[in-house]
Amino acid sequence: DTEVTQTPKHLVMGMTNKKSLKCEQHMGHRAMYWYKQKAKKPPELMFVYSYEKLSINESVPSRFSPECPNSSLLNLHLHALQPEDSALYLCASSQSLAGDYNEQFFGPGTRLTVL
């Protein structure tokens, strides 16, 4: 299995809602990432988990809360979001954070719209 899956594909939420994005991989990768991508822009790194521990938080607002319950799963909990948080949220995984061929495999993304 060389796939990263993300659910849901689309999500519409109000500013007072609480929702979660899910990401799963079964490639035995030990590093997992959350990116945010606005239209016509490259992905921006949000969080990095390495061996289920938060390794990097790129100064993301606390209304985004990541969670890595095990080596195959990565969640992003959303609360009190703003309309400007509407974007494509991408999950990625890699074997680890090190190595020349540390290729990141991306999921299909969740298209989030905040009303």
Q: In the complex, which residues of this chain contact another protein (CB under 8 A)?
A: 4, 6, 40-43, 45, 48, 50, 55-56, 88, 90, 92, 97-109, 111
Nearest to 49 by CA among 31, 70, 23, 61: 31
Nearer to another protein (CB atom), residue 15 or residue 56: 56
Q: How far is the CB of 25 from another protein (least distance, A)?
A: 12
Q: How far is the CB of 42 from another protein (least distance, A)?
A: 4
List, as own/partner pairs, every contact residues 62-69 make where C-beta atoms lie below 8 angstroms and the sequence separation is at least 24, other chains included.
Answer: 66/34, 68/32
Nearer to another protein (CB atom), residue 18 or residue 38: 38
Nearer to another protein (CB atom), residue 79 or residue 111: 111
The three-state secondary structure class of 57 is: strand
Our CA angle for 39, 43, 49, nearest 5°, is 145
